[in-house]
Structures are given as structure tokens and as C-alpha cells.
């Protein structure tokens, strides 16, 4: 669910309660599209997060403490220059839109007090964070919007700030009592739910559906089918709802799926339409948003930062697939080479019956049981002996090519397996250090050109996943090849159990046995982890091999993460994410 006008109204109320009159202490820009302001209000310190991330734009008080770049971006430096030490004198939400303005009183270059505005527009991929002066002139924005990008308005330094077009919607907070039904807009064929969120600002489709549910009306009802009684019921519900919002009577909550316990929605009002779903209420809307977006935002950013790695791996995989096809095709060609040797032998056996200048020679093939007659092509410019030698040379060349192609095909298949393991690791990454590990490995293996920087930065190694089984055994899961090697070759003891999907790229999984017998339930949990963190995570009946670590070894010259093993048992399992979430994660 996107942040609608109701949620933003709740956020504005919460920030004003805590920080109105407070002062901005520090400003950071941990991401290219994200600002975190440290402010002090009513004797406490708070962090305000503003992000224009295209997938999850939002604004709220946060407990996150993100790592900041060594050199602050220019927009961050500008905010520090204009807002550091400034006093938050107001926070407003214009016309119930998805816009929040911070009015901040600060000193200018001349030492005079003036008011600057820090504005966040929460509008999907058009989201932005903008700083203006007291005359609404844009000082800068986190995203510049020129005429080439938008014909509606420019967002550039020096331009006068103009709010985004309102789309001719009405502010529901200013609608006269019980008159909501009269302001519904739409043509014949417009459904009620659609008419509600397209007629009033700040109402999302989910809230429009909730309003219909409370009014006991079908959301898919066509506008022309509404009776006066229906409109009255609708008006009563909306009047009651927005009276609560005017009085800041919010009910922040998250709705969870009843089967998977996944957070599927959040709101600042009680979502009565989710009858069979679990709902958890909170005192703070910021806490709701942070919890809801915690994993989604991280995974989205990881995906964004791994795009170049994914492209490099995919390009090399496609190159390997093409090379493999060519090698298989050539292998088929040289596999049928025995006739070359036979032709040479038959020419030698009949050398006195052949003379130079002949184009072909007919002979009985003594090397086949049926002894068929064959016609052997000859080069008329060569002697019979030279023709025979020509066929022997072709045969020996095909034989050598066949042996070389077998070895090359084996190397190509090993490279494909390795690259697929990197692709799986990229998709299993949970933080930026995982991506850095894979990028470093690609450089080591020559897939990315190594650049020698004057300033060496310490490589922060990512950590494997750590779970505790239902029987109390520690289980570790490598998220990339470097972690796999670390777990299997250095961390695991000879008696620990090692798991990996059979002939499928995936993670190495280790059960620390502590020399105890491992119950079948723990073995199944580890196998589930191995199957889930593999290329086959969406498949069923995935084969998983497991053996003691003593039977796992790395061949000389093998690429990272590549091992061989024996004495294994194989079990078949269908990956179950819910069971993994129910495991006690130690990370």
C-alpha cells in the first residue's frame, strides 16, 4: 500500500507532536534518494527519514542508523548549510495531498532569521525532496526535473516551486457534513470504488474499498446504480471517518496474511474489510511504516545495487551457452570420423589400382561385415599415396579435435555451473556486503576489470545466515561462494553435516553436530534451507545431498564454491519459506 493522505496526515500529526519547536542537529544522505535528519524536541533525539525511492517513497521517524558515505553528496551539503541548527516551526500537509512541507526557521548568510521549506512529494516514481527559500524559490532538489522529463513543471534550482497538479480532486476534510455522495465524479460505467478515490484527494483504492465495506455497499457497483439511500450511507461513513482524522484519532495497524503471516497492508484507520486477517495495532504510525518496509526496502535496494552484477553474470552465461552449443555441434561433426581412416586404409590396400588424376575410386569395404561397395572421393592432383595420407591426417585431426572438445566442453559446463551459482547468490543477497563479496569475486575471476585505486578500502566481509533448529542445533547457510568456501573448508569440523542441492547451484549448508546424533527433523530443516537457497527454490521435490564434512573436498584449481563429495545420502524436499521463517534466526 502506498502512503495515502490519511497515513501522511497521521505522520504529520506524530512529527508535530514530537518535534514542533525542535531543532535540526545533523543531516545525512546515506542513499542517493534518501535523507535522514537528526532533530531534538521535547528533551529527546529523533531521526526523520525522507526518501524519494521510486518503489517505496515515504516519510517517518526512524530508528535506523545507516552507514553514511565518506564524502557527503552535494544535496546533503546544501541542506546542512541551510538547515543545520534550524528550528522546525511547522509541518503541513497541503490540501490532504501526498506532500509534506517542513517550515524551518534558520539563519541566512547575513545572520538574519528566515524560513526555508523542505518539501517531500510522495508520488511513486515522481517522488522528490525539494528545498526552497522563503519566497518559494527552489534552492535544490534531490532529483532534477527538466522540461525533457516533464512538460507539466520543472523542478530545478532557481525556479519558483509549484505544487504538482491536483487532478481536480476535492479535499475530503473540507467537504460539508454528509454531502460526500454529492461530490462523486464519474461517467456511466465508473465503479463506486474508483469514483471515491478519483473524486477525493488522499484516498487510496484500499481506503475506498474500506469505505464501501463500512457502508455495506459493493465496491464494484456502478455509479449510475447508486440510490439516494446508498449515497446517504456513503456520506455518513465518510463524514464519520474524516471527522476522526480531523481530530487526529488514528489507529495505526498492520494487516498480516492469515497463512503466511506476511505483512500485506498497513493503515492509519481500522481496516474492517480484512475480516479473516490478523491485525496488529501500534501506538506509532512511524513504527508501522518502518516495520512494514524494513525487508521490502532493503531487498529493493539490494536488487537495484546488484543490477550491474546481474547483467555481467547474465552476459557471460549467454556467451557460455552459445559456446557450449557450438562445441556440441562440432563434437557431433568430428565424432563421425571413422570413415576417414577406412578410406585411407582402402586406398592403401588398392594403391596399385589407383592412378593420379582420378576423381574417385570404387572399392569393397572389407571393414564392414556386409562388405558394401563404397565410392571414395579423390583429389586428382595428388598421388594415391598422398590421397591416403590426406585421409589419415584428417582422421587424426578429427581425433585430436574430439579429445580437445571434450575437455573444452567440460570446462564450459563448469563455468556455466559456476556462473549460475553466482546468479543464485546474487538473488539470495540480503545486504550490501553480500553484493560487494560477489563483485570482488567477479574481479578475482577476471569477469570485471580490476581497478587499482590509490586509496585502499578494507573489504567488509558479509556473514552467512545463522539459524537454530527446532532441536537446538546451529545451522549455517552460505549466501555466496566466498561464504560457502569459508563455511565448508575452514569453519565446519569433519563430523559436521554438509548439505547441497544435487547438481543444482545453491548454498552450502552446515549443521554443527557437536559430535551428537542429529535428529531427522533437524536434517529436514537443513535440507529445506539448502533447497530454498538454491536455483530450485520455486521447484518441488528438490534433491538435496548431505554427508559429513570429512567427505567434502575442493579439487586443485577449482573456482570458489566448487567442491566434490562422496558417501552422501539424498533426500527430496519441496522448499517451504514459512518453515524457514519459523526457524529461530540468530542473525
For the stretch 137-191, pLDDT in tens is 999 999 999 988 887 899 999 999 999 887 788 999 998 877 788 888 887 789 9
Mean pLDDT of 531-535: 94
Tens digit of each residue's pLDDT (9 = 90 or more) over 339-384:
899 999 999 999 988 999 999 999 998 888 888 999 999 999 999 9
pTM above 0.85, yes or no: no
Q: In terms of DSSP bridges, do strands 564-565 and 509-511 run parallel, antiparallel, or are they unpaired?
A: unpaired
Do 68 and 29 touch, CB atoms closer than 8 A? yes
Helices assigned H by DSSP within 366-492: 384-428, 432-444, 481-485
Q: Which strands sit side by side in the sheet containing 253-256, from one edge to the other?
A: 263-267, 253-256, 278-281
Do 377 and 354 touch, CB atoms closer than 8 A? no
In order of their start, the domains of the chain are: 5-141 (2.30.310.10), 172-301 (1.10.8.50), 311-425 (1.10.287), 465-585 (no CATH)
**CA quadruple 439, 445, 451, 457: dihedral positive or negative?**
positive
Helices assigned H by DSSP within 84-202: 192-199
Q: How confident is the model at residue 299 (pLDDT cuts 50, 70, 90)?
A: confident
Q: Is 350 exposed, middle or buried (0-12, 13-18, 19+ CB in 10 A)?
A: middle
**CA quadruple 327, 328, 331, 333: dihedral positive or negative?**
negative
Go through 51-71 and write b for each residue having 16 or more CB atoms within 10 A of its CB, e for each that does not. bbbebbbbbbbbeeeeeeeee
* Of 304, 310, 427, the residue nearest 55 (C-alpha): 304
235 sits in which H/E element: helix 228-246
C-alpha cell at 151: 512538460
Q: What does the pLDDT read at residue 247?
A: 95
**Helix 205-214 vs helix 192-199: crossing angle, to nearest 10:** 120
Residues 6 or more apart in contact with residue 251 via CB below 8 angstroms: 267, 268, 269, 270, 281
Mean pLDDT of the chain: 90
Q: Is 267 exposed, middle or buried (0-12, 13-18, 19+ CB in 10 A)?
A: buried
Amino acid at each position: 500500500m502506498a502512503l495515502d493522505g490519511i497515513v501522511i496526515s497521521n505522520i504529520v500529526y506524530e512529527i508535530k507532536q514530537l518535534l514542533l519547536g525542535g531543532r535540526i542537529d545533523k543531516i545525512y544522505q546515506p542513499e542517493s534518494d534518501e535523507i535522514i535528519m537528526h532533530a531534538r524536541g521535547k528533551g529527546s533525539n529523533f531521526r526523520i527519514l525522507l526518501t524519494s525511492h521510486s518503489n517505496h517513497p515515504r516519510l517517518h521517524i526512524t530508528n535506523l542508523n545507516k552507514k553514511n558515505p565518506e564524502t557527503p553528496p552535494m544535496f546533503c551539503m546544501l541542506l546542512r548549510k541551510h538547515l543545520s541548527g534550524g528550528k522546525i516551526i511547522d509541518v503541513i500537509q497541503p490540501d490532504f495531498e501526498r506532500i509534506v512541507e517542513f517550515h524551518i526557521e534558520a539563519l541566512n548568510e547575513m545572520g538574519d532569521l528566515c524560513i526555508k521549506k523542505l518539501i517531500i512529494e510522495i508520488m511513486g516514481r515522481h517522488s522528490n525532496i525539494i528545498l526552497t527559500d522563503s519566497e518559494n524559490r527552489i534552492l535544490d532538489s534531490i532529483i532534477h526535473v527538466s522540461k525533457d522529463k516533464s512538460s507539466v513543471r520543472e523542478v530545478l534550482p532557481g525556479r519558483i516551486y509549484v505544487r504538482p497538479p491536483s487532478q481536480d480532486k476535492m479535499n475530503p476534510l473540507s467537504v460539508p457534513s454528509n454531502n460526500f455522495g454529492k461530490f462523486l465524479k464519474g461517467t456511466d460505467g465508473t465503479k463506486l470504488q474508483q469514483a471515491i478515490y478519483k473524486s477525493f484527494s488522499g484516498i487510496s483504492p484500499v481506503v475506498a474499498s474500506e469505505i464501501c465495506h463500512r457502508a455495506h455497499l459493493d465496491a464494484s457497483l456502478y455509479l449510475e446504480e447508486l440510490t439516494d439511500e446508498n449515497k446517504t450511507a456513503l456520506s455518513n461513513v465518510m463524514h464519520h471517518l474524516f471527522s476522526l482524522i480531523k481530530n487526529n484519532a488514528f489507529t495505526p495497524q498492520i494487516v498480516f496474511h492469515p497463512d503466511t503471516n506476511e505483512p500485506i497492508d498497513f493503515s492509519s484507520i481500522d481496516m474492517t474489510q480484512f475480516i479473516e486477517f490478523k491485525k496488529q495495532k501500534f501506538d506509532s504510525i512511524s513504527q508501522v511504516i518502518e516495520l512494514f518496509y524494513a525487508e521490502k526496502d532493503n531487498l529493493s535496494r539490494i536488487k537495484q545495487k546488484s543490477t550491474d552484477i546481474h547483467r555481467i553474470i547474465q552476459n557471460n552465461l549467454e556467451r557460455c551457452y552459445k559456446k557450449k552449443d557450438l562445441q556440441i555441434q562440432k563434437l557431433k561433426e568430428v565424432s563421425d570420423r571413422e570413415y576417414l581412416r577406412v578410406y585411407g586404409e582402402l586406398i592403401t590396400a588398392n594403391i596399385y589400382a589407383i592412378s593420379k588424376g582420378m576423381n574417385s575410386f570404387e572399392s569393397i569395404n572389407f571393414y564392414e561385415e556386409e562388405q558394401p561397395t563404397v565410392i571414395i572421393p579423390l583429389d586428382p592432383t595428388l598421388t594415391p599415396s598422398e590421397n591416403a595420407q590426406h585421409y589419415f591426417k584428417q582422421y587424426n585431426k578429427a581425433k585430436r579435435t574430439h579429445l580437445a572438445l571434450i575437455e573444452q566442453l567440460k570446462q564450459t559446463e563448469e563455468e556455466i555451473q559456476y556462473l549460475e551459482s553466482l546468479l543464485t547468490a546474487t538473488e539470495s543477497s540480503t545486504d550490501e556486503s553480500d553484493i560487494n563479496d560477489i563483485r570482488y569475486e567477479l574481479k578475482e575471476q577476471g569477469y570485471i576489470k580490476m581497478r587499482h585505486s590509490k586509496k585502499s578500502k578494507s573489504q567488509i566481509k558479509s556473514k552467512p545466515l545463522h539459524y537454530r533448529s527446532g532441536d537446538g542445533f546451529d545451522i549455517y547457510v552460505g549466501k555466496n561462494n566466498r561464504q560457502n568456501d569459508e563455511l565448508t573448508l575452514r569453519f565446519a569440523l569433519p563430523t559436521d553435516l554438509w548439505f547441497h542441492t544435487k547438481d543444482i547451484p545453491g548454498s552450502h549448508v552446515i549443521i554443527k553436530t557437536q559430535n551428537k546424533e542429529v535428529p531427522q527433523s533437524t536434517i529436514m530443516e537443513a535440507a529445506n534451507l539448502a533447497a530454498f537457497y538454491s536455483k530450485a527454490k520455486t521447484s518441488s521435490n528438490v534433491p538435496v545431498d548431505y554427508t559429513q564434512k570429512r567427505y567434502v573436498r575442493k579439487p586443485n584449481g577449482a573456482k570458489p564454491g566448487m567442491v566434490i563429495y562422496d558417501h552422501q545420502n539424498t533426500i527430496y524436499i519441496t522448499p517451504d519459506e514459512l518453515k524457514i521463517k519459523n526457524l529461530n534466526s540468530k542473525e
